[in-house]
Amino acid sequence: MRRNLICSPFLAGAPLLAGALLLAGALLRAAGVCAADAPSGAFVLHPAQVWSADGKAAHAGWSVVVQDGRILAVGADGSVPTPTGAHRIDLPGTTLLPGLMDIHSHLFLHPYNEKLWNDQVLTEPVAYRTLRAARQAQATLLAGFTVLRDLGTEGADYADVSLKQAIEDGLYPGPHLYVATRAIVATGTYGPLPRGFRPDICCTPQGAQEASGVPEVIKAVREQAGRGADWIKVYADYRWGPGGSAQPTFTQEELNALVMAAHTSGRPVAAHATTVEGMRRAILAGVDTIEHGFDGTEELFRMMAARGIAYLPTLTAQEAYAQYFEHYVPGGGASNELIENSARAFRLALKSGVTIGCGSDVGVFAHGTNYRELEWMVRDGMTPVQALLAATAVDARILRKDGELGQIKPGLAADLIAVPGDPLQSIAAVEHVSFVMKGGVIYKQP
C-alpha cells in the first residue's frame, strides 16, 4: 500500500498550531508516508463496474481515465482515450464510486466514551487536539471520505483553518475540508455552562463564540468569516432550559440578522436545531441547512422543502448517545427513544421531499467509521442508491461544489474510491474501502 504525502513546508496559522502540524508531518515522513513514493500523473482505473452518481445504474466493463488530478474520460473499456505512459490500475471485483462525503463532522472531538465533551474542551490543549484532529483526518480519508464539512472546533478556536491549509499544502493526508471555525451560540446557553463553576471563575474555555443582540451576532459572523470560515454555524436551540431541556436560543430578529450578515459575505449558514421552535426560527431566517432536526414535524419539513433548505440527520450520533448514556446495546432487541425519534424525523423528511445529505456528527463516535451513517439511512428508509447519492452528488450540491466534486464525469476532481461487490445492492460494502484517490493522488490501494 502506498499513501501520498507532499513534503512541503507549512506556512499558515499561529506559531503554536504550525509547530504542532509540522511535528505531525515529521512523524508521518518518518513513517515513510510521502508523495515521492506514490505514482502520479495519469491513471487508467479498471474496476468491475463504475457508478458515477448520476442517478443511473452502475456500468460494468467501464474504465476511468485520470490526468493531472481530474477525470479525463469515462466509458467502456477500450473506448476511452488513454494518455501515453498512464499507470494501469486493476481493481477486480470492485465498484468504483466518487469519494464519499460527510458534511456534519467534528475533527476536534473524539468519542465521548473515551472522554466526555466537557473534559475534552477543558483539559486538552489546542495543540494536542490539533495533532489528534490531523490523525483523525487521515483515518477519515483512508476510510473513503474525501470531503468533510467540519461544523465547529468545539473550543479549539480557529485551528480548523490551519488544519485545512496544512492538508491543502500537502503536509499530510486528509479530506477536502470546509470549515465553520468556532460556531455561534447565544450567551450562557452552550458549554461548558457557567453554572457548573464558581461565580468568580470567568475564563473557562467555551465550546463556541457567544453573542447576544443583533450587533453582536453580526460581529461574530464577520469575525469568523474574516478568520477563514467557509460556513457559518449557529445554534438555534440548545439544552439550556429548566432541567437541561432543549429550548430556542436566539430571537427571530437575531437569527435574521445573522443569516443576512453571512449571506452578505457569500457564506451559507448551518443551523443546529432539534426543537420545533428552534427549527421554525432557523427556517424563517433562511438558513441553508438544518442539522439534527429530531423533533421535526411534517409541516416544518415541507417548509424546508419549499425553501430549498437541506437536512443533515446525524442518525449515527443518536445511536452513539444511546450507547454511552442510556445503556443501549446495538442489535440487543430493545428499542430506544433517541433512535426511534431520529428515525421518525428522517422518514418524515424523506416523505416531504426535503433534500437530505449525509452528515453524521462524527467525533461523537469514532472517525473513520463515517460509513455508519449511510447504513442508518438505509435502515431508516432510503435505498442504498439514495444513501450513496446523499453522500456524493447531493452533498456536493449542498456545498455548492457540484461543478467540482461528487460525480464521476470528465472535468471533475479525481476523488475516487473502490469497494468490494455492489454497494447499490448492499450498502455494507462501504465499510471495506480498498482504494482511495483524492485529487488524482493515490492514498490507498490493494
What are phi and psi for residue 387, nearest 5 degrees? -65, -40
Instruction: Tell me how far apart the alpha carbons of residues 160 and 126 are, in angstroms, rounded to a whole number.
Output: 11
How many residues in total does the chain contain? 446
Whether the Cβ atoms of residue 46 and residue 93 lie closer than 8 Å to each other: no
Homologous superfamily assigned to 100-398: Metal-dependent hydrolases (3.20.20.140)
Homologous superfamily assigned to 39-99+407-444: Urease, subunit C, domain 1 (2.30.40.10)
pLDDT at 21: 47
Q: pTM here?
A: 0.91
Least Cα distance to 361 among 416, 292, 446, 279 occurs for: 292
Quote the cell numbers at residue 57. 445504474
Rounded alpha-carbon distances, angstroms, from residue 198 to 68, 191, 193, 201, 290: 58, 15, 11, 6, 35
With H, G, I as helix, E, B as strand and everything else as coil, classify residue 64.
strand
pLDDT in tens, the chain (446 residues): 333 333 333 333 344 444 444 444 444 444 444 443 444 589 999 999 999 999 889 999 999 999 999 999 999 998 999 999 999 999 999 999 999 999 999 999 999 999 999 999 999 999 999 999 999 999 999 999 999 999 999 999 999 999 999 999 999 899 999 999 999 999 999 988 777 777 777 777 899 999 999 999 999 999 999 999 999 999 999 999 999 999 999 999 999 999 999 999 999 999 999 999 999 999 999 999 999 999 999 999 999 999 999 999 999 999 999 999 999 998 777 789 999 999 999 999 999 999 999 999 999 999 999 999 999 999 999 999 999 999 999 999 999 999 999 999 999 999 999 999 999 999 999 999 999 999 999 999 99
Instruction: Tell me how far apart the alpha carbons of residues 443 and 435 are, in angstroms, rounded to a whole number.
Output: 8
DSSP string, 114-177: TS-HHHHHHHS-HHHHHHHHHHHHHHHHHTTEEEEEE---SSSTTHHHHHHHHHHTTSS---EE
pLDDT at 158: 98
pLDDT at 208: 97
* Residue 270: Cβ-neighbour burial (10 angstroms; 0-12, 13-18, 19+): buried
Whether the Cβ atoms of residue 255 and residue 285 lie closer than 8 Å to each other: yes
- Within 8 A by CB and 6+ apart from 82, the residues are 42, 44, 65
* Residue 298: Cβ-neighbour burial (10 angstroms; 0-12, 13-18, 19+): exposed
pLDDT at 172: 87
User: DSSP assignment, residue 413?
Assistant: B
pLDDT at 200: 73
Quote the cell numbers at residue 411. 472535468
Quote the cell numbers at residue 351. 416523505
Whether the Cβ atoms of residue 150 and residue 177 lie closer than 8 Å to each other: yes
| Numbered ranges of CATH 2.30.40.10 in the chain | 39-99+407-444
Quote the cell numbers at residue 116. 466526555
pLDDT at 304: 98
Task: For helices 15-30 and 126-142, give the axis angle rounded to 10 degrees.
Answer: 40
With H, G, I as helix, E, B as strand and everything else as coil, classify residue 5.
coil
- Within 8 A by CB and 6+ apart from 285, the residues are 252, 255, 256, 258, 259, 269, 271
With H, G, I as helix, E, B as strand and everything else as coil, classify residue 220.
helix
| Numbered ranges of CATH 3.20.20.140 in the chain | 100-398
pLDDT at 40: 56
pLDDT at 11: 31
* Residue 208: Cβ-neighbour burial (10 angstroms; 0-12, 13-18, 19+): buried
Least Cα distance to 67 among 47, 40, 49 occurs for: 40
